[in-house]
Structure 1
Amino acid sequence: MPRLGLNPDHLALAGAELADESGFEAVTISRVARRVGVQPASLYSHVDGSADLRDRVAMLVLGEMADAATSAIAGRSGRDALGAFADSYRDYAHRHPGRYEASHRRTSPSPRTVDEGRRHSTLSAALLRGYAVPEPEHVHAIRLLGSTIHGFVTLEFTGGFAHSAPAAEVSWDRIVDALDHLLRTWPTSSTDV
């Protein structure tokens, strides 16, 4: 019988909190069970094992990140929207390092996975409309934005910028300026496949 108050969403949140405290690899059935005060076997009434639990944490995180980005860009356009968009992801990563790590997990295919991924793509596409990047080029521009933002944050987390000047914040602002310039002058190609 499922324990009162426990449900998959509650366990995903407990897993996300544990990830922020101890890293995403700490999110296991036994650790989350300890955190919520039950025996590990009790969790199997709500999740299908550690992989399912981690997928649920990743979906929670993707939703939180999309919500933050949506709020950040509301009512903005151009460079202002781009800066708010990029900052929302970077700020989230700094506030929630374990959760952010979960966002990079390759999850099991499901309608919810597709929906959460689509929210991020839709947000990126909305941002791009402020730059008049042609719609056939959106996939390329979205990949550039994601690679740049997440690549920078990953290198920052691993200490890649810790041993040189200027501070990472200065480079971050320059990178957002460079992205803004590139999006305003986006090249198109007639040889797209």
Structure 2
Amino acid sequence: MARAGLTVARLTEAAADMADDVGFENVTVLALARSFGVKDASLYSHIKNLRDLRQRVAVASLSELADCVSDAVAGRAGKDALVAFAGAYRDYAREHPGRYASTQFELDSDAVLASDARRHSQMSRAILRAYRLPEPDETDAVRLLGSTFHGFIALEASGGFSHSPPRESEQSWQRVLDVLHHALENWPSH
């Protein structure tokens, strides 16, 4: 019989909270078990292993992030949608650093897990509709947005902008969004 109170959902949520507190890379089965006051063996009736646990956190985080982005971009298009999307993405990373880090975790191709990851990707593609990019340009644009947002967020979180000339990172963020909008509107043809 499973220990009372331990469920996959509860373990995933606790691991996500732990990731925000100590960093995603520091989430372990042993640490999670200790937080529940049980032996790590007690968790293995709910999760397969550490990879399974981290993957569950990543999927839950991608779903949360997609919800935040969806709320932010509702009824918006073009630059307005781009700015709302980017703001929701950055806010999520600031408020949930461990969960955000988990969104970069490589997922297995399992259909259930992949569906949540696809939902996140579809949000990116939805804001690009106003820019009317054909494939494969749309895929390239999704990758441009993701790498730009992630790069900026990672540098900002690590203090990477503290060595730059004095300029608020918020001013740079707004300028980056202006440049992205311009690039999307003026996407080069083949």
Could you state the TM-score of these two structures normalised by the residue count of structure 1?
0.93
The gaps in structure 2 that reach 5 residues or longer are none
- Spell out, residue by residue over 1:16-73, the C-alpha distance to the aligned partner (whole angstroms, 9 max, x if none): 0001111112211111112223221110110011111111111111111111111110
Report what 2:62 is aligned to. 62
1:91-110 aligned within 5 A: 91-110=91-110
Which residue identity lines up with residue 130 of structure 2 in the other structure? G
Aligned length: 189
Pair 1:38-2:38 in alignment: yes
- Given that 2:77 and 2:130 are in contact with CA atoms closer than 8 Å, whether structure 1 keeps it comes out as yes
Distance of 1:188 and 1:144 partners within structure 2: 16
Distance of 1:150 and 1:113 partners within structure 2: 21
Give SS of 2:30's match: helix
- Given that 1:14 and 1:36 are in contact with CA atoms closer than 8 Å, whether structure 2 keeps it comes out as no
Give SS of 1:44's match: helix
Distance of 1:138 and 1:98 partners within structure 2: 29
Distance of 2:137 and 2:112 partners within structure 1: 26
1:160-171 aligned within 5 A: 160-164=160-164, 165-171=166-172
Report what 1:89 is aligned to. 89
The gaps in structure 1 that reach 5 residues or longer are none
Distance of 2:121 and 2:187 partners within structure 1: 18
Report what 2:185 is aligned to. 184
Percent identical among aligned pairs is 50
**Cα RMSD between the aligned structures?**
1.2
Distance of 2:103 and 2:133 partners within structure 1: 27
Distance of 2:50 and 2:145 partners within structure 1: 31
- Spell out, residue by residue over 1:159-181, the C-alpha distance to the aligned partner (whole angstroms, 9 max, x if none): 11012221111100000011111
